[in-house]
């Protein structure tokens, strides 16, 4: 097959592999917030892990059904979230300023991750459109919209924490509410699966 004809397939494989890394990213974020005993943020990333895992399956299904190939996933060892933030520390030995710093760095890296993801998916969508693969363009455009919504959610949560002046007692106080909301969202996701 002509290399140019493979371009849409290669672009969609890139999206698929970004989703694989996204699943690892959210799993590591979930593990991080479990370590910090922040059940709301833990459930947030648990929901994102399940949701993005489902999306990755849909991307792969799209590739299989439209290009009649089953792409192999490129699986990274890590999304590099946990090691830089906690290393070998024990939760019971963390001081409050260390916990504050970890929470802040984690959310900032989350926003960066989503903005980078938006740039990748938007670029792929543009290339698919330019190539003339409108079906694939429309498929990826929906994913771009989902990423935009997630960026808005992450940004609003960051603004909340900035409004709390990153006070851990206030951030901890909202964890149960966030957990309940994310567990509800997860149940709704499964209902619609």
CATH number, domain of 26, equals 1.20.1260.10
Strand, coil or helix: 57: helix
Angle at 150 (CA atoms; ends 147, 155), nearest 5 degrees: 125
- Measure the CA–CA gap between 12 and 55, rounded to whole angstroms: 13
Q: What is the average pLDDT value for the chain, to the nearest integer?
A: 91
- Measure the CA–CA gap between 171 and 175, rounded to whole angstroms: 7
Res 97: pLDDT: 82
Count of domains forming the chain: 1
Among the ranges given (1-5, 76-80, 95-99), the one the predictor scored with the smallest mean pLDDT: 1-5
CB-based contacts of 177: which residues, under 8 Å, 6+ apart? 40
The length of the chain is 193
- Measure the CA–CA gap between 141 and 125, rounded to whole angstroms: 6
Domain that holds residue 104: 3-191
Angle at 55 (CA atoms; ends 46, 50), nearest 5 degrees: 15
Res 78: pLDDT: 61
Res 152: pLDDT: 98
pTM score, whole prediction: 0.90
């Amino acid at each position: 097959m002509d290399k140019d004809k493979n371009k849409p397939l290669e672009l969609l494989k890139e999206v698929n592999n970004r989703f694989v890394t996204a699943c690892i990213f959210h799993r590591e974020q979930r593990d991080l917030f479990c370590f910090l005993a922040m059940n709301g943020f833990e459930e947030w990333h648990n929901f994102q892990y399940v949701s993005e895992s489902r999306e990755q399956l849909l991307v792969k299904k799209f590739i299989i059904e439209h290009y009649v190939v089953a792409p192999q996933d490129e699986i990274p060892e890590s999304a590099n979230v946990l090691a830089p933030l906690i290393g070998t520390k024990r939760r019971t030995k963390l001081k409050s300023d260390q916990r504050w710093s970890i929470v802040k760095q984690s959310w900032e890296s989350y926003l960066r991750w989503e903005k980078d993801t938006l740039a990748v998916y938007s670029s792929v969508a543009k290339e698919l459109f330019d190539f003339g693969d409108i079906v694939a363009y429309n498929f990826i455009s929906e994913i771009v919209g989902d990423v935009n919504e997630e960026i808005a959610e992450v940004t609003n949560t960051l603004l909340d924490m900035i409004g709390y002046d990153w006070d851990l007692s206030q951030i901890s106080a909202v964890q149960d509410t966030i957990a309940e909301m994310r567990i509800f969202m997860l149940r709704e996701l499964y209902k619609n699966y």
